[in-house]
Amino acid sequence: MGSAVATLTAPRLDNAGRETAAPPLLEVRDLRVWFPARRRAFARRQWIRAVDGVSLQVMRGETLALVGESGCGKTSLGRALVMLRRPTSGSVSFAGIDLSRLKGRALRDTRRQMQMVFQDPYASLDPRQRVDALVGEPLLIRGVDAATRRRRVAELLELVGLGAETAGHLPRAFSGGQRQRIGIARALAAEPTLIVCDEPLSALDVSVQAQIVNLLVRLQRQLGLTYVFISHDLAVVRQLATRVAVMYLGLIVEMGETAALFASPRHPYTVALLAAVPTLAIGGVAQRRSTLLTGDPPSPVNLPAGCRFHTRCWLRERLDRPAICANESPRLAWANGHASACHFAADVADHASAANADRAAGPPAGT
């Protein structure tokens, strides 16, 4: 079946969501990341379509958030953006250069400018290495001499709020939040332009999460960084992101400037995600968790025909199950800098509040 690929005519948006002629820092075209699925003997080869035709642009200095349920392909996309995972097809251009054309030193230099901060600050740091070795490793790889490395590591530790005196400690001496700061310092050591943060808060206590958010905001201002921010936490996304891309089963189903997307989502899946967080529900309608999103997503190996969301879509139910939803894959169509891959995007707002209210008041769907 065809996929809801973001059209290449998508408008370029500046940090306020306005159209701009400025070239993007990162441009992704029709990207696919597929993994071979385990198969029984003599069975046909099947693929897990983790990312299945994503096109997007990331503008210099912005924070583009990637949101969606577990397994929708956020990490696979994030890793492909920074070349930690080779895409199955499609292209990634950084500062106008197609990364697949780079080799040797040019490739290493470009990759250095794109770093990743990982979800689990416990697993992402070698427990046997001291902080100075962990943070200084990217400098060592670049051939920076020992004295400069020591000075730079001390500066980086100060920058992330740890203090230079922590350089000689092992990771086990630090709390989760402090380890995440070490991970951020290590990413910064490479002097990146772009950082992909993959759920950098989810392994941390709530009290520490706000400190890391503040640190990321401060570093972005100070160093002019561009972020791709992967998160389940929509409240943090609303606070941090310039724009939001919503993923469902390997595709972007909605993309737009943060305030517009939260105020008037144009895809039923986004409405359902927001409704699951009462404080974010449209117009505050859902006073308790709404159940617009029921059941599990289909397998990324056996994807449904038509719209991938049609097996769970509350709007399709309200519209008496139009056949087009099960037969034709909707394209990501842009209007006023806000894109949605839904045949009935224009009807979402009219139905969202009523659907939220119905579900919040009544028993959960499917009971």
Rank residues 35 and 122 by Cβ distance to ligand ATP and give the closer one.
35
Residue number of the CB closest to Mg ion reads 75
Closest CA to 270 of 79, 72, 48: 72
Taking CB under 6 A as the rule, which mask of x and - marks residues 10-39 in contact with ligand ATP? Answer: -------------------------x----
Stretch binding Mg ion (CB under 5 A), from 5-13, 69-77, 88-96, 309-317: 69-77
* Residue type, position 268, single letter: P
* 340 near Mg ion, judged by CB under 5 A: no
Nearest distance, CB of residue 34 and ligand ATP, angstroms: 9
72 binds, among Mg ion, ligand ATP, ligand SF4, none (CB under 5 to 8 A by kind): ligand ATP
Q: How many residues bind ligand ATP (CB under 6 A)?
A: 12
DSSP 142: T
DSSP 23: P
CA distance linking residue 181 with residue 195, whole number of Å: 14
* 250 near ligand SF4, judged by CB under 6 A: no
User: Which of 325, 332, 352, 360 is close enough to bind ligand SF4 by CB under 6 A?
Assistant: 325
Whether residue 203 contacts residue 119, with contact meaning beta carbons closer than 8 Å, is answered with: yes
* 227 near ligand SF4, judged by CB under 6 A: no
CA distance linking residue 306 with residue 34, whole number of Å: 20
The SS3 of residue 89 is strand
Whether residue 303 contacts residue 1, with contact meaning beta carbons closer than 8 Å, is answered with: yes
* 5 near ligand SF4, judged by CB under 6 A: no
* 75 near Mg ion, judged by CB under 5 A: yes
CA distance linking residue 115 with residue 324, whole number of Å: 41
DSSP 8: T
Stretch binding ligand ATP (CB under 6 A), from 69-77, 98-106, 144-152, 258-266: 69-77
Secondary structure (H, E, C), 120-165: CCCCCCCCCCCHHHHHHHHHHHCCCCHHHHHHHHHHHHHHCCCCHH
Stretch binding ligand ATP (CB under 6 A), from 72-80, 163-171, 271-279, 327-335: 72-80
CA distance linking residue 84 with residue 122, whole number of Å: 20
Q: Which residues bind Mg ion (CB under 5 A)?
A: 75
Q: Which residues bind ligand ATP (CB under 6 A)?
A: 35, 48, 50, 68, 70-76, 300
